């Protein structure tokens, strides 16, 4: 156990208990007012530890400064406040499994649910660690409240120890990352960093500078509605057309459940509607822009084919950009990545860079000319009831960050 473990554990448990789930249907920023509950808590805690320039922006981000004690570039650190809409996040009850014994972990509120090293191989290497899970009926929210906890402990420690050399550091805790709206257009200027890091990664040693490129698509299918008793030759059932459309898509080769590594996908994640009209929501992902464009073209072709089958119906397909692979910018200047890798090695951790099968706030920030790779926190099996994290992994991430800021001093 390190000196930081108890504080990291306590902070994660405290933050995870606050419901901060985002909602892509919400039109405000943040998309849900409950995210402000944690934002205001963080403002108070930052003020208590002596951070400077603490404020809650009108778009829901918490910003603060850790004053520098040495020359060097202004470095930003970010974590996101919201938790994923994909699974229940109300009433999170974190549970600490002290000194993990290597066997299956059961859940107090879900007797049939089991977290095992067979299903989650990374867990097998955490014997003796303190593992935090939820109680079985919610996600935990380590994504990304582990990142928040790590940065808050880093801030408190640095402010309490001005003898530690570091440049000026800027912290940002953002809303709505999980729905792709974490980086407001005003954030880069408000952050004021030369480069930055998101604390939003998984396994120890991961320093990530490559993410998916992402688009979102909404398909609207409008049929012809009439009374079913007199519908012959008149009705066009929108739900039947939806079935045809989905059947034309490459479910065996290009969906999340059958892809891995550098393979992209086309994911239908929401379907609502009636026989009169239905709406399908998709996310399109690929590491390369031509692959992303091909997936959009494939979806449009399927819509066109169904439209041709039934000209009395109306099918529209609207595709909008979400974020782009941060590699396109970071590969032109790898200094932030190299600095993080060097910090890892000096802490006895071999850095690993794997492409993120998703995106971070860093994807958008990098695209907006604030280079922002991603650093591990230890979070695993996120967005569901089996989510877990090792306190000791969080401590490893904290040590890397402390090492990084010292290396940035004078650079």
Q: How many domains does the chain have?
A: 2
Catalytic choice (19, 130, 143, 177) = 177
Let me know if 82 is a catalytic residue.
Answer: yes
pLDDT tens string 314-355: 999 999 999 999 999 999 999 999 999 999 999 999 999 999
pLDDT tens string 347-357: 999 999 999 99
Give the chain's residues under pLDDT 50. none
Same domain, yes or no, for 148 and 176? yes
Asked which of 306, 322, 338 is the last residue of a domain, the reply is: 322
Determine the Cα–Cα distance for residues 78 and 191; give it in Å rounded to an integer: 10
Residue 2 has what pLDDT? 80
And the tokens for 70?
Answer: 């040495």
Residues in contact with 161: Cβ distance below 8 Å, sequence separation at least 6, in sequence order: none
Say which CATH number the domain at 268 has: 3.30.70.360
Which strands make up the sheet holding 277-286, listed edge to edge? 265-273, 277-286, 213-222, 314-323
For residue 228, the tally of other CB atoms under 10 A from its CB is 10
Determine the Cα–Cα distance for residues 261 and 320; give it in Å rounded to an integer: 24
Same domain, yes or no, for 93 and 156? yes
Residue 1 has what pLDDT? 60
And the tokens for 355?
Answer: 């492409």
Asked which of 305, 322, 339 is the last residue of a domain, the reply is: 322
Asked which of 268, 302, 322 is the last residue of a domain, the reply is: 322
Q: Checking DSSP bridges between strand 52-56 and strand 62-66, what pairing results, if any? A: antiparallel
Same domain, yes or no, for 198 and 217? no
Same domain, yes or no, for 76 and 9? yes
Residue 41 has what pLDDT? 98
Domain of residue 74 covers: 5-211+325-408
Same domain, yes or no, for 18 and 105? yes
Same domain, yes or no, for 205 and 346? yes
Distance between the two ends of the chain, CA-based, in angstroms?
32
> Alpha helix (H) ranges present in 87-219?
142-160, 187-191
Determine the Cα–Cα distance for residues 10 and 228; give it in Å rounded to an integer: 59
Say which CATH number the domain at 399 has: 3.40.630.10
Cα Rg of the chain, angstroms: 23
Same domain, yes or no, for 116 and 181? yes
Catalytic choice (7, 9, 19, 82) = 82
Determine the Cα–Cα distance for residues 274 and 389; give it in Å rounded to an integer: 41
SS3 33: coil
Same domain, yes or no, for 243 and 253? yes
Torsion of CA 159, 165, 168, 174, to 10 degrees: -60
Determine the Cα–Cα distance for residues 55 and 166; give it in Å rounded to an integer: 22
- Look at the block and give the residue holding tokens 């941060």: 326
Residue 410 has what pLDDT? 76
Residue 411 has what pLDDT? 59
Q: Which candidate, 292, 297, 301, places its Cα nearest to that of 248?
A: 301
């Amino acid at each position: 156990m390190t000196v930081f473990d108890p504080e990291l554990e306590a902070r994660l448990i405290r933050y995870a208990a606050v419901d901060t789930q985002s909602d892509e249907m919400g039109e405000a920023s943040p998309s849900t007012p409950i995210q402000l509950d944690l934002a205001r808590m963080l403002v108070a805690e930052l003020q208590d530890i002596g951070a400077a320039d603490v404020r809650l922006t009108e778009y829901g981000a918490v910003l603060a400064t850790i004053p520098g004690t040495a020359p060097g570039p202004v470095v930003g650190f970010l974590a996101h406040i919201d938790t994923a809409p994909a699974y229940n996040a109300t009433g999170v009850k974190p549970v600490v499994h002290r000194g993990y014994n290597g066997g299956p972990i059961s859940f107090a509120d879900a007797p049939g649910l089991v977290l095992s090293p067979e299903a989650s191989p990374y867990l097998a290497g955490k014997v003796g660690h303190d593992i935090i899970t939820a109680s079985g009926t919610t996600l935990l929210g380590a994504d990304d409240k582990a990142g928040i906890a790590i940065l808050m402990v880093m801030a408190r420690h640095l402010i309490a120890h001005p003898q530690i050399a570091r440049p000026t550091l800027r912290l940002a805790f953002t809303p709505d990352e999980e729905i792709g709206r974490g980086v407001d257009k005003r954030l880069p200027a408000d952050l004021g960093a030369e480069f930055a890091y998101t604390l939003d990664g998984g396994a120890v040693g991961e320093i990530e500078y490559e993410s998916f490129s992402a688009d979102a698509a909404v398909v609207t299918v409008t049929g012809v509605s009439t009374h079913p008793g007199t519908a012959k030759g008149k009705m066009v059932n929108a739900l039947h057309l939806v079935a045809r459309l989905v059947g034309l898509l490459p479910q065996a080769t290009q969906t999340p459940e059958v892809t891995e590594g550098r393979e992209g996908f086309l994911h239908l994640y929401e379907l609502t509607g009636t026989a009169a009209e239905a709406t399908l929501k998709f996310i399109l992902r690929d590491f390369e822009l031509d692959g992303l464009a091909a997936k959009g073209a494939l979806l449009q072709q399927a819509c066109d084919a169904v439209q041709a089958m039934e000209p009395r119906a109306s099918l529209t397909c609207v595709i909008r950009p979400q974020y782009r692979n941060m590699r396109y910018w970071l590969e032109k200047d790898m200094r932030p990545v190299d600095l993080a890798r060097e910090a890892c090695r000096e802490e006895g951790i071999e850095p690993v860079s794997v492409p993120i099968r998703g995106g971070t706030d860093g994807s958008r920030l990098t695209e907006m000319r604030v280079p922002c790779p991603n650093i591990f926190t230890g979070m695993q099996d996120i967005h569901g009831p089996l989510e877990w994290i090792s306190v000791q992994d969080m401590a490893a991430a904290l040590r890397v960050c402390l090492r990084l800021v010292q290396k940035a001093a004078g650079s």
